[in-house]
Amino acid sequence: MLEVEALHGYYGESHVLQGVSLRVGAGEVVALLGRNGAGKTTTLKSIMGIVPPRGGRITFEGEDITGLAPHLAARRRIAWIPEERRILPNLTVGENLRLALLRTVPAGADRKSRIEEALQLFPRLQERIHQSGQGLSGGEQQMLALARGLIVRPALMLVDEPTEGLMPLIVRQLTEILRAINAQGAAMLLVEQNTEVALALAQRVYLMDGGRIEFEGTPADLRNRPDLLQRFLGV
Phi, psi dihedrals of residue 7, rounded to the nearest 5°: -80, 135
Question: Mean pLDDT for the chain?
Answer: 91
Q: How many domains does the chain have?
A: 1
CB contact at 8 A, 190 and 216: no
SS3 content of the chain, % helix, strand, coil (to 5): 40, 25, 35
Over range 45-60, report the average pLDDT: 95
List the domain range (segments joined by +) for residue 75.
2-233
Considering only CA atoms, which of 79, 56, 75 is closest in space to residue 4? 56
CA angle 130, 153, 112 (to 5 degrees): 40
User: At 17, which helix (H) or strand (E)?
Assistant: strand 14-24
Q: Does position 105 have pLDDT exceeding 70, yes or no? A: no
**Per-residue pLDDT, 109:** 58
Q: How are beta strands 204-209 and 29-33 bridged, if at all? A: parallel
CB contact at 8 A, 161 and 36: no
Over range 158-170, report the average pLDDT: 90
**Per-residue pLDDT, 104:** 66
Query: What is the value of pTM for the model shown?
Result: 0.91
Domain at 204, CATH number: 3.40.50.300
CB contact at 8 A, 232 and 209: yes
